[in-house]
Structure 1
Amino acid sequence: MKIFPVNTWRQRWLLLAVCWFGAAAAGYVLAADGGEEAEATVLTVNGEAVTVQEFEAAMSRERLATIRLFQSRYGAEYRQGFWQKEYGGQTPRDALRQKALEQITQLKVQQIAAKKAGLVKDITYGGFLKAREEENRRRQEDAGGGKVVYGPLKYGVEEYYQYTINNLLIRLQEWLSARELSPSPEAIAMFYQKNKDTLYKKSPSIQTKKLFVPDETEASRQIAQQAIEQAEHYHSLDLAAASMDAKVQLSEQVFDDESLRDDARYMPELLEAAQQLAPGKISGIIPVSAGYAVLQCLKREEGGYVSLEQVEEDIRSRLLEVDYEAWLKAEIRQAKVEIHQDVFDKLEVQD
């Protein structure tokens, strides 16, 4: 047995949960079927035991990412003996075990914190498996009794693991956010002042004249180019259109904060061109659906800022995410991880 400090922050906790589920959905399950071997302790994190079965489940979640890493970095072929072959001084098996160690440490320190907070009583893998059996039994009894059952009638092991872990981590973050991680009003105000130009600035109100030439033909493109030349001569799209023999369509269009979502979705080319125009300026040819457009900016008013009161919850959420990451990094850095080396060294990966 030896002490092994783990201080690597690998992924944000919610993203990690999503990645776990994706790997599990791919069908990579390594965990032992049960018995004394499966219940043997691989390591402890701050005194909490991690069994072979729990650790191999963590290896399963990292399996696909490890294969892809060695394929992209070393051009490794996934075939018989892949896990034992050395690449760059390390075997995929050792890399997988290290990733699983980091993952399980990150998870376990959060489970321990949740247990201390009274959010959960049992954080052992055996307790989880028992809870799954009870949940599946209840669901089947409810379904047999004619009750409405939301979700699956029977949870798979990894499916239920993701469900329970994700919910627990959300509750832990909420619990911490109401206590030691709660951002102060001063921190919220400081974040607003520092980031309002990039995050909370309203879109300007841009009033434009739009000339549209239907059809996506070269002839239509030439008409649009002619309109630009005439508009620059007359300093007006209206006068340019009146001086041309070709049939073009004129209209006014306002781009502002209220229309921003629809503009970005349905006419991003026009929105981008309008945002670059100063009053009086004329755009180049803008290819749009079913033709070509030209814009002239008639009036532009800056939009100001969204008020602090309107974005306070958004800022609070952003700060909590940062603070939670910092808290978790510190917990991982201070975690006491004791590896049972004789058990750890026996962990293998099936091809």
Structure 2
Amino acid sequence: MKQSKRINRIFKKKIFFAVLLPLLATVLLSASLIVSHSSKYSGGATVFTVNGEPVSKDEFMNVMSGLRANVFSYFVQKYGVTDSAKFWATSFQGEIPIEVLKQKTLDKMKRIKTEQIVMKSNGIASDISYSGFLDKLKAENERRKKAVENKQAIYGPQQFDATGYYEVLHGNRMEELKNKLADKELLSSDEEIKNAYDENKETMYKKIDSIKYEKIVLSYLDEKGNPSPDKKKIAASMATRIKEDTNKGLKFEDIVNAYKKQDKSDIEYKGMAFNESTYKTDVRTYPQLTTTLNELKNGQISDVIEESASFNIVRVLEKSIPSYKTLDEVREQVKKELTDKKVDEFINKLVHGSKLIVDNKAYNSIS
């Protein structure tokens, strides 16, 4: 009888281990997967919340990485510092780079999260968590990889990093939000568009002046097309004398012909036109000359202008009467600029009134 009871207890223990242990293992595994998934996708500890929406440490660090260069430049320009191992923790007249960087990140993230909340309420983004962003990043990079493999055209890099795609995704969503708000809450009336056009007409909608001008060019390039220090000295001296000649009322072309007879082959006379069609090229190649042309009046002569390895003197021959793009021509541009301004003011109010709760322990752990 005792033997039978002993066998029965052993049998029950076997059943317990055979049934309960696998069940326990399943529970533990599930818990492990939940923890693992949370650890992998939550982005770490919450640094702060904006109206209840969390900003994880990983999201904070991602945005912070994009601001490092800006903060470093600030300290270089203000204090003349150089990079070093201790730079970020060193105090410069009370300003510590890492603390300035963290504060700038906090300010920027507060605005970004506020904008994301508005996006969510307007159906632009259903998920504004960092884990949702990482899912989108993964999907986008997989799409780009397949496109490259199939020899399809893609715009931008073959693969995005987190910082780059964060900015791109947020920028695209903001454009979508602006378009939506422009047709609803922030719709601009015809009167508002007209007033915005009138206010910015002189600075934004003025047409490029059409200018006919002549110039004397003294190049100091050598035979190989490289700037020559010796030729530059000669050209600079000549430019000074030529400027005096122009002040005496001598004609540009006559001045050049006279110098050419003295075998001054690097001097040249040009009759030129500056207008809408030449503007982009001229601004890129001769920015200082272009600025000077716009400042001069009919008949006025410039001082000596040095750029593009040459000395130049210009005289305006004829300048068109200022004209402006009509409201019909720029209506959509005015509407967009007005919407941008309205959205900016709208977000600023929301940011100012948003509730920010910072987890000091998580925030202070960032370095």
TM-score, structure 2 normalization: 0.64
What's the counterpart of residue 124 of structure 1?
Answer: 129
Output the CA distance in 1 between the equivalents of 2:338 and 2:126: 29
| Higher RCO, Cα 8 Å, sep 6+ | 1
Aligned to 1:175: 180
Q: 1:80 to 1:295 in 2, by over 3 A?
A: closer
Residue 324 to residue 147, structure 1, CA distance change in 2 (3 Å): same
Q: Tell whether 2:204 aligns with 1:186.
A: no
Change (3 A) 1:224 1:109: same
Counterpart CA distance in 2 for 1:176 and 1:227 is 62
1:79-110: CA deviations, max 9, x gaps?
A: 25953x55555654443332222122111111
- Aligned counterparts, 1:73-88, within 5 A: 73=78, 75=81, 78-80=84-86, 82-83=88-89, 86-88=91-93
Query: Where does residue 54 of structure 2 map in the other structure?
Result: 49
- Alpha-carbon distance in 1 for matches of 2:66, 2:259: 67
Residue 95 of structure 2 is aligned to residue 95 of structure 1: no
Q: Is the CA contact (8 Å cut-off) linking 1:70 and 1:92 kept in structure 2?
A: yes
2:366 equivalent to 1:344: no
CA distance in 2, matches of 1:87, 1:243: 61
**DSSP 3-state at the match of 1:303:** coil
Letter in 1 for 2:339: L
Query: What do residues 143-176 of structure 1 show as CA deviations (whole Å, max 9, x unaligned)?
Result: 67x4747366654333433332232222222222
Partner of 1:25: none
- Amino acid corresponding to residue 304 of structure 1 in structure 2: S
Identical amino acids, percent of aligned pairs: 26
Partner of 1:197: 202
In structure 2, do the counterparts of structure 1 residues 309 and 227 end up closer, same or farther at CA, with 3 Å as the change threshold?
A: same
Separation in structure 2 between the aligned mates of residue 43 and residue 276 of structure 1, nearest angstrom: 52
Change over 3 Å in CA distance of 1:92–1:205 after alignment to 2: closer
Q: Is the 8 A contact 1:263 1:271 kept in 2?
A: yes
- State yes or no: 1:110 paired with 2:81: no
Residue type matched to 2:120 in 1? K
Provide the residue aligned with 1:11 in structure 2: none
Distance 2:66 2:257 in 1: 68
Q: SS of the counterpart of 1:103?
A: helix
Q: 1:289 to 1:343 in 2, by over 3 A?
A: closer
User: Does the 8 Å CA contact 1:220/1:291 hold for their aligned counterparts?
Assistant: no
Contact 1:220–1:292 (CA under 8 A) maintained in structure 2: no
> What is the CA–CA distance in structure 2 between the aligned matches of 1:172 and 1:134, rounded to whole Å?
22
Select 1:302's aligned residue among 321, 329, 352: 321
Tell me, yes or no, if the aligned pair for 1:224 and 1:285 is still in contact at 8 Å. no
Structure of higher CA gyration radius:
2
Note if contact 1:213-1:223 (Cα within 8 Å) is conserved in structure 2: no
SS in 1 for 2:202: helix
Query: For 2:99 and 2:308, how far apart are their aligned partners in 1?
Result: 54
CA distance in structure 2 between the partners assigned to 1:80 and 1:242 by the alignment: 60
In structure 1, what is the Cα distance between the partners aligned to 2:87 and 2:306?
55
Aligned-CA RMSD value: 4.3
Q: Residue 38 of structure 1: CA displacement?
A: 4.8
Cα 1:126–1:302 shift into 2, 3 Å: same
**For residues 104 and 309 of structure 2, what CA distance do their matches in structure 1 show?**
52
Deviations 1:215-263 (A, max 9, x none): 875696588457536635xxx667x679969659777544445544454
- Whichever structure has more helix as a proportion of its residues is 2
Change (3 A) 1:172 1:220: same
Cα distance per residue 1:40-96 (max 9 Å; x no partner): 33322112122233233333333444455455556486425953x555556544433
Q: How far off is 1:116 after superposition?
A: 0.7
Greater alpha carbon shift after TM alignment, 152-161 vs 108-117:
152-161
One-letter identity of the residue aligned with 1:306: K
| Deviation at residue 120 of structure 1 after TM alignment | 1.3
CA deviation string 1:174-227 (max 9, x = no partner): 222332333332222223222322333334444456677898756965884575
Shift of the 78–305 alpha-carbon distance from structure 1 to 2, 3 Å rule, reads same
How many residues get paired?
Answer: 310
TM-score, structure 1 length as denominator? 0.67
* One of 292, 315, 320 as aligned partner of 2:334: 315
8 Å CA contact 1:224, 1:293 repeated in 2:
no
- 1:61 equivalent in alignment to 2:79: no
Classify 1:157/1:193 alpha carbon distance in 2 versus 1 (closer, same or farther; 3 Å): closer
AA matched with 2:348: K
Q: Match for 2:194: what amino acid? A: A
Find the aligned partners of 1:318 and 1:165 in 2 and give their Cα distance: 19
1:79 is aligned with what amino acid?
A
Gaps of 5+ in 1: 1-32
- Per-residue CA deviations over 1:267-322 (Å, capped at 9, x if unaligned) read 56665565555555566666787987765555444132222222223322332232
Whole-angstrom CA distance in 2 between matches of 1:107 and 1:176: 17
Gaps of 5+ in 2: 1-37, 221-230, 262-266
